[in-house]
Copies of this chain bind each other. A is one copy, B any other.
Amino acid sequence: MARTQGSHSDITGPRIQAAALKLFAQHGYAAVSMRQIAKEVGVQAGALYNYTPDKQSMLFRLMKTHMVDLLTAWEESESPEGPLEQLRHFTRFHIRFHRERPEEVFIAYMELRNLSPENFAEIEALRGQYENALETILKAGVEAGQFHVPDTKIATLAVIAMLTGVNTWYRAGGRLSLDEVEAIYWDMVRKSVAP
């Protein structure tokens, strides 16, 4: 056999991406073989190389797409007036965006060490941009006297770590709705930077 009926790169491509995403998130990049990904798609391993130069590029692509999506979504979101409202907006945005992409988030946090140095640097730069968005808000709030944090850089990382932690326990259909979760976290974030 050779080319199969109905085969098309517009279909196979995304399916390969999706399979890699799922399997990397489930078992980890290093533990997943190209043959497993191919099997998930219903194709032979060799066919994957029509869509990626190598395995490592698949990982990088997933992570980069995720980070770019994150930054784009943030920039496109409506930013309210005033540091306090902006912080609230960031809190809601972060929880919601991350909750919608648990697999991408998991990979973006866990597989950094499997990136080549150049790829790693690129992802880290994007992450830095995102952190800057929050730090800018915190700095403005401190200057306006609405926040008190001993160190805006650390507060930024602390808040992000706290919010991202939602993904480790939240399950849809659980005890709490996403709205409730957002309210709870917003209460804690708001107070943690209060004067």
Contact = CB atoms under 8 A, between A and B. Distances in A.
Contacts of A162: 158-159, 161-162, 165
A168 B176 contact: no
B161 A165 contact: yes
A191 interface: yes
Interface residues of A, number: 35
Interface in A155-195: 155, 157-162, 164-165, 168-169, 176, 181, 183-185, 187-189, 191-194
B169 A165 contact: no
A150 interface: yes
B155 A188 contact: yes
A163 to B, nearest CB: 8
A168 to B, nearest CB: 7
A149 interface: yes
B191 A114 contact: no
Given A154-B185, A191-B191, A192-B192, 8 more contacts: A26-B113, A28-B114, A31-B114, A150-B187, A154-B169, A160-B165, A161-B164, A191-B192
6 contacts: A27-B30, A28-B28, A154-B185, A160-B165, A161-B168, A188-B192
Interface of A: 26-28, 30-31, 110, 113-114, 149-151, 154-155, 157-162, 164-165, 168-169, 176, 181, 183-185, 187-189, 191-194
